[in-house]
Amino acid sequence: MALFDLPLDQLRGYRPTLDEPADFDAFWERSLGEAAAHPLDAEFTPYDAALSTVDAYDVSFAGWGGHRIRAWLLVPAGAEGPLPAVVHYLGYSGGRGLPLDHVVWPAAGWAALIVDTRGQGAVNHHSAGDTPDPHGAANPQAPGFMTNGILDPETYYYRRVFTDAVRAVEVARSHPSVDPARIVVQGASQGGGITQAVAALSPHVKAAFIDVPFLTHFRRAVEITDEDPYQEIVRFLATRHDAEERVFRTLGYFDGVSFAARGTVPALYSVALMDAICPPSTVFAAYNHWAGPKEIEIYPWNGHEGGTGVHRAVQLRKLRELV
């Protein structure tokens, strides 16, 4: 993919006006309050992952609506806790997979909670998921998750996902191997969008690692990229000509730019300038609004894969500073 978005000098200053509902904060306070009415009921079952240096636990907890959410907790074997922890959120269509897929964090001495995304991990991805979405769709939708319940913020799919993700921080904090004061949230693409939201919504996050975030600056994204998953919204609107106002009103409650404006913890972003899936201007829109200390790693010649292993090494070094 060639360079297609704004030049880098313009990206560095790209800071669009926030476009959000007046009751944005009240909506999320109410959503999280409703979830808190359900006991967290976190269960940690030892799991034989055949890893001699990592202890693995099959995790289940109550997310939005009390629905059971699955995760893995990975802890360095024999480590004396409590340990700092990474709560990791997954990319679009991916599931939690197996513990062996996520050993980099415990190899660095950190506990890690790998959070399944409800309803995902069954199609076109190597990592299987284990968490259904019992709520289902509130309106006919384009294939995928982006338009599931999109005509009303109360029923939108990502209301459930973001709430599950905030609850996952509480799960990590509840385990005796984890230091509840040292929780870092991390994810790429969809996981990056979830990370932005959690860092703004949870008071228990120490730092956020946000890579090529999806679910950010929706209006611009759907107007400048032909790639999925944003194109799911375009396909929906192509048949629902009366729904544009309702759709973008709903998305206003879930836009990463608004969450970034409320993020006050240290953040490490990454962006790829040839990324047609999560266009660079959408990433910089959030980064430039981030309200706390921040850094951004720029990968000029990469697409949506971002900085891959090179960037993971940057993150691991940053984690050493946070311990």
3-state secondary structure of 230: helix
Q: Is 60 a catalytic residue?
A: no
Neighbours of 5 (CB within 10 A): 21
Choosing from 31, 93, 189, 202, the catalytic residue is 189
Choosing from 38, 125, 135, 304, the catalytic residue is 304
15: Cα separation from own chain's centroid: 21
Q: Is 275 a catalytic residue?
A: yes
Token digits for 302?
Answer: 């990469």
Q: Is 281 a catalytic residue?
A: no
Could you say which DSSP state residue 174 is in? H
Choosing from 275, 281, 289, 311, the catalytic residue is 275
Distances (CA, A) of 281 to 10, 102, 138, 263, 285: 9, 30, 31, 19, 6
Helices (DSSP H) in 72-189: which residue ranges? Answer: 104-107, 157-174
Asked if residues 64 and 160 have their Cβ atoms less than 8 Å apart, the reply is: yes
Asked if residues 205 and 183 have their Cβ atoms less than 8 Å apart, the reply is: yes
Asked if residues 209 and 195 have their Cβ atoms less than 8 Å apart, the reply is: yes
Would you name the residues annotated as active-site residues? 189, 275, 304
